[in-house]
Structure formats: structure tokens, C-alpha cells
Amino acid sequence: MKSTYISYSLFLILLLSSCLDQPEKMGNTYRNNFESLWRIIDTQYCFLDEKKINWDSIYSVYNARLGTDTVSELAFFDAMGEMLAELRDGHVNLYSSFDRSRYWKWFTDYPSNFSSAIINSHRYLSVNFRQAGGLRYQRIAGDSVGYIYYSSFSDSFSNTNMSYILKYFEECRGIIIDVRSNGGGSASLSEQFASYFFPRDTVSIYMRHKTGPGHSDFSEPVALPTKAGKIQYTRPVVVLANRGSYSATNMFITRMKDAPNTTILGDLSGGGGGLPASNELPNGWLVRFSSSPMFDGRMQHIEFGIEPDIKVMLNPDDVAKGEDTLIEAAVALIGTK
């Protein structure tokens, strides 16, 4: 019953966020579309103050670039995409029938710290890896450590899948969960995956939602606990993260920070700590944006990424030998437990 209540509460929050201070329907001109887009962000985007963004100043800059309705539709779309990029947020996109604006610098300005070719080599997953739902897994390091690679929280798995995986790893000293370059997906799968490593319900994430048009108009924090799963794993766990670990993956890492016997290893995660909502412009284009900020159990923003417990970067010398520095460090760490 409690999980049903939380899901219903999230639905109401999303509904409120997407309906809050909707701009009046205006005619389809470049001017009206610009004004509508700027106001949606001004009244509904949740990180303007936190990121110290002067949205009024940005209005002046892009208003000066607007020109007349004789500018091409493509040029207008690109200008509006550039304006949204000022938010520095991978959850912000402008959708049209011919393109989707996107902001990539949240991870392209960082080293990838990941090589899919290496993890798929004979040393780790190999061609004989096992797969249960969206989880690929294998015993590595002389069968002493279990290794799971999860590439997307859009790929589902079940309790039965996880039960078989942990049975396969029952003789291992610990497991490595690799969520590097996992760009996110389902928040509920993120919570479910974390639940297997919590012996009791734990409040790991809080969320607030907009209550008015002001930049700081937010509700009191709403707790989103990690619930203890029916299946439990109590041996050492190492979670591998990189800057490409974004959105729902960032939430998973945030939760696992509070899991017993768990170490986060790698690099700063990608962030993406705002629950997205969307709205429509007069011309039918859709804008997606972060509407509800999320925090960790200590009420710290998770929008900017989660620092690892142990920072390890991929070493070029190891790569040349076909080794993954992070996996090897995780194997060594589990060996000391």
C-alpha cells in the first residue's frame, strides 16, 4: 500500500509541475514562441537559483537575436536550443518535428573512464556472458568475484532474474556493479536494483516540487525511501561510476551511497537530479525541463553528480594491456574485505 501511495504522490507532483503557471495560448509567431519558452523556464525550471543563472539577462541576449519572422524556422529552433543550453542541464530538450536540441557538455567535458571493448573482452564479460533481463553478468578474477554490467535503466529485470544472478555468485567474495555510461531510464528500476542491498527501509533521496512561479517556490521535502528488497545480498559490493552515469543511474548511485558494505568507485557521476516535466509552445514544439529537484539523505543536491568514495581513473597503460583499471581496483578492494 505504501509503494502505491508514493507512486500516486509522484504522479500528482508531475501533474502539478506540468500544469503550474501554464502560459496562455498565444498565436504562432516567433515572438510568441520565444516569450512562451522563456516564461516556462522562468516559472517552472527548478535550478535557476541553485545554478546562479540570471534568466532575465539571458532574455535580453536572445531577445536581441530574435530578429523578425523572416528568419528561417531552423535558425529560430537553433537559437532557442542555444538559449536552453544556458541551463547546463542534460534533462532540458526542445522537440520539433525535425530536430531535438540537447546539451552534452555535462559529460563530454570529462574523460569517459570506460571502454566497452575491454569489458566485453575475455578477461571480463567475454562472449559467454550470461544475461538476465537487462543485466549482463559473469564470474571474474578466477571465479572469486561476481561482475554485473547494466547499460540502461530502461532495460527491465525482475526479482527472479536477480535471484538467479545472486545464486550464481553465491561462492564469490563480493560483486561489482558496473553502471558506467548508463544514461538512466526508469526511476522505479533504480530503486528496485538498490533495494537488494538494504536490510531495512532507508531514506536516501528527497524531492521537492514547485508550488509557485518564483524561482524558490518549493514544497517541503518529500522522502523517497529505498525499501528493503525481498532478496538480500550482504557481502561486499563495489559500484563503478563515471560521468556518463546519469539521471536514474545517478539516483541509484545516491541510494547505494547509504547501502551497507558498499563502496562507490570511479569518477564523479553525471548528475541529472531534477525530475523532468514538459510543456508545449504555441507552434506545437515541446520543451522538457527539470521541474522537481532531488537531494540525498543529507539534503544535498544530486544535480551536479555524486563523488565516489574512491576515485580511480582508467589508466592508458592498463588499457593497452586489455585491463580495466576500475574493475581491477574493485577486485582488489573486495579481496581485502
pLDDT band at 25, cuts 50/70/90? low
Whether residues 88 and 120 fall in one domain: no
Which residues, in sequence order, are CB contacts of 327 under 8 Å at separation 6+?
Answer: 119, 124, 140, 147, 176, 178, 240
Q: Which residue has the cell 578474477?
A: 141
User: Which CATH number belongs to the domain containing residue 170 in this structure?
Assistant: 3.90.226.10
DSSP symbols for 84-106: HHTT--TT-EEE-SS-B----HH
Whether residues 31 and 149 fall in one domain: no
Within-domain flag for 300: no
Which helix (DSSP H) or strand (DSSP E) does residue 309 occupy?
Answer: none
Within-domain flag for 281: yes
Per-residue pLDDT at 13 exceeds 70: no
d(Cα 31, Cα 301) in Å, to the nearest integer? 35
Distances (CA, A) of 37 to 41, 93, 274, 282, 329: 7, 11, 18, 9, 47
Rounded to 5 degrees, φ, ψ at 258 are -100, 5
pLDDT at 337: 83
pTM of the predicted protein model: 0.90
pLDDT band at 109, cuts 50/70/90? very high
Average pLDDT across the chain, whole number: 92
The range of the structural domain enclosing residue 323 comes to 116-197+232-270+305-336
Instruction: Render pLDDT for 80-108 as a digit per residue (tens, 0 to 9).
Output: 999 999 999 999 999 999 999 999 999 99
pLDDT at 6: 43
Number of domains in the chain: 2
pLDDT at 3: 40
d(Cα 96, Cα 284) in Å, to the nearest integer? 8
Instruction: Render pLDDT for 27-36 as a digit per residue (tens, 0 to 9).
Output: 789 999 999 9
pLDDT at 66: 80
Whether residues 75 and 179 fall in one domain: no
pLDDT at 65: 84
Within-domain flag for 299: no
Based on its alpha-carbon atoms, the radius of gyration of the chain, rounded to whole angstroms, reads 22
Instruction: Render pLDDT for 147-173 as a digit per residue (tens, 0 to 9).
Output: 999 999 999 999 999 999 999 999 999
